[in-house]
């Protein structure tokens, strides 16, 4: 199973596309991360390490290389710079988030 998802938060120019395979979520090149990263995010070390690595994110905040995460939430934190529930933030369709999609497919319980 591979699901293409999009994250485009309001009130920011951040944007990303990713592929979720049930075990990992791979943020694809071509997106852009938010300018800020909240210092209080617990468990945000992996998200911050990708954000600060010029092999993955250029000086203009563009994602230039695939970034692989084991959690949709950490991947969303990478893009938004905020504590974020990835199952709510990543969208499969305009009004359907990843969590709802997985529930409908019988792959996740509420």
Higher-confidence residue of 41 and 83: namely 83
Mean per-residue pLDDT over the chain, rounded = 93
The answer to whether the beta carbons of residues 102 and 87 sit under 8 Å apart is yes
Higher-confidence residue of 45 and 89: namely 89
Task: Report the predicted TM-score, pTM, of the whole model to 2 decimal places.
Answer: 0.94
The answer to whether the beta carbons of residues 80 and 12 sit under 8 Å apart is yes
Strand partners, 62: 32
Max Cα distance, the chain (Å): 41
| pLDDT at position 43 | 66
Report the C-alpha gap between 37 and 70 in whole angstroms: 20
Tokens of 46: 């992996």
Helix/strand/coil for 100: helix
């Amino acid at each position: 199973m591979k699901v293409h998802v999009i994250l485009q938060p309001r009130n920011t120019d951040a944007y990303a596309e990713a592929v979720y395979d049930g075990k990992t979520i791979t943020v694809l090149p071509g997106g852009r991360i938010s300018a800020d990263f909240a210092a209080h995010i617990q468990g945000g070390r992996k998200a911050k390490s990708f954000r600060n690595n010029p092999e993955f994110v250029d000086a203009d905040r563009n994602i230039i290389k695939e970034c692989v995460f084991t959690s949709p939430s950490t991947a969303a934190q990478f893009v938004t710079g905020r504590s974020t529930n990835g199952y709510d933030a990543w969208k499969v369709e305009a009004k359907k988030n990843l969590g709802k999609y997985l529930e409908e497919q019988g792959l996740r319980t509420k």
